[in-house]
């Protein structure tokens, strides 16, 4: 696992966006695995900038997102479909038919099966990841066991609290989500995880220091990946005591 320390969050996102852009330039019909949340936003800003400057073509690109809240329709402003449309897809020349965010409404079991089929169609060339305050990736929450495949996950109290900042109040935060499993994430050819902020210190510490893998910090699984990059800023590196060796 490669660890990059940058001067600030903005630079971290620029590097992550460049990694994604390089994959698209090398393989115009690449399949991207995408994440939502606050951290990923600036990555999309950079990708849009590259597109607007004529340096990137999304016309053949396909995407699949990590997760979606159960109970939010695609047009709900806090749904991850809505996020993706507004933060990336509406601003680049991607064909929306080639974008996939699992639906969080209707027959959930059927949606999970459809998601699993989608993932089998074509491998993900690069997967963008954020990290939860509790170390979750996608919505794979800390537990005594982790799930390999796409499934419905009961959200952790700490996740509900952290994500309540996007809702009017905490009671509006969905309690469940459909998420790629750990295996689905690990099957991506390349992983890039971006983290920033004090709240992520505990989760990042056991990811970037030591070689332990903990079910109580699902992000540590990516230490096993052949081509994973973690990008943190100086502030977070100092906070967790990470030093380049
Ligand atoms: C979002 C996702 C989550 C977020 C994580 C960090 O699709 O899968 O794992 O990446 O919760 O969210 P932020 O960036 O809002 O702190």
pLDDT reported for residue 21 = 98
Mean pLDDT, all residues of the chain: 97
Confidence grade of residue 59 (pLDDT, cut at 50, 70, 90): very high
Three-state secondary structure along 53-77? CCCCCCCCCEEEECEEECCCCCCCC
Supply the DSSP symbol for 223: G
Whether 23 shows a pLDDT value over 90: the answer reads: yes
Provide the residue ranges of all domains of the chain, joining segments of one domain with +: 2-240
pLDDT reported for residue 243 = 87
Kindly report the CA angle at 122 between 118 and 128, in degrees rounded to 5? 85
pLDDT one-digit tens code per residue, 109-159: 999 999 999 999 999 999 999 999 999 999 999 999 999 999 999 999 999
pLDDT one-digit tens code per residue, 90-120: 999 999 999 999 999 999 999 999 999 999 9
Residue 159 Cα to ligand 1 middle (Å): 9
Burial of 110 (0-12, 13-18, 19+ CB in 10 A): exposed
Distances (CA, A) of 1 to 212, 221, 242: 13, 11, 14
Cβ atoms of 151 and 225 within 8 Å: the answer is: no
Please state which CATH class domain 2-240 belongs to.
alpha beta
Whether 244 shows a pLDDT value over 80: the answer reads: no
Nearest in space to 15 (alpha carbons), one of 26, 3, 33: 3
Whether 245 shows a pLDDT value over 90: the answer reads: no
pLDDT reported for residue 170 = 96
Q: Is the CB of 35 under 6 A from ligand 1?
A: yes
Cβ atoms of 232 and 205 within 8 Å: the answer is: no
Whether 240 shows a pLDDT value over 80: the answer reads: yes
Residues carrying an active site annotation: 67, 134, 136, 141
Residue 120 Cα to ligand 1 middle (Å): 23
pLDDT one-digit tens code per residue, 147-193: 999 999 999 999 999 999 999 999 999 999 999 999 999 999 999 99
Whether 72 shows a pLDDT value over 80: the answer reads: yes
- Choose the residue to mutate in 42, 43, 130 for probing ligand 1, maximizing ligand atoms within 8 Å of C-beta: 130
pLDDT reported for residue 121 = 96
């Amino acid at each position: 696992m490669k660890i990059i320390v940058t001067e600030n969050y903005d630079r971290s996102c620029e590097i992550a966006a460049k990694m994604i852009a390089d994959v698209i330039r090398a393989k115009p019909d690449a399949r991207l695995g995408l994440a939502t949340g606050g951290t990923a936003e600036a990555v999309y800003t950079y990708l849009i900038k590259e597109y607007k400057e004529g340096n990137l073509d999304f016309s053949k690109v396909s995407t699949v997102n990590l997760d979606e809240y159960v109970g939010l329709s695609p047009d709900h402003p806090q749904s991850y479909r809505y996020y993706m449309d507004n933060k990336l897809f509406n601003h680049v020349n991607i064909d929306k038919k080639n974008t996939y965010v699992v639906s969080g409404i209707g027959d959930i079991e059927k949606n999970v099966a459809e998601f699993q089929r989608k993932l089998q169609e074509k491998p993900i060339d690069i997967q963008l990841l954020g990290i939860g305050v509790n170390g979750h990736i996608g919505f794979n929450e800390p537990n005594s066991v982790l799930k390999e495949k796409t499934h419905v996950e009961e959200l952790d109290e700490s996740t509900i609290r952290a994500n309540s900042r996007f809702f009017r109040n905490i009671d509006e935060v969905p309690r469940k989500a459909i998420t790629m499993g750990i295996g689905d994430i690990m099957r991506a050819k390349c992983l890039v995880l971006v983290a920033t902020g004090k709240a992520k210190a505990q989760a990042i510490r056991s990811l970037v220091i030591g070689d332990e893998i903990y079910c109580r910090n699902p992000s540590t699984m990516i230490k096993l990946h052949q081509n994973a990059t973690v990008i943190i800023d100086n502030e977070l590196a100092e906070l967790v005591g990470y030093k380049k060796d």
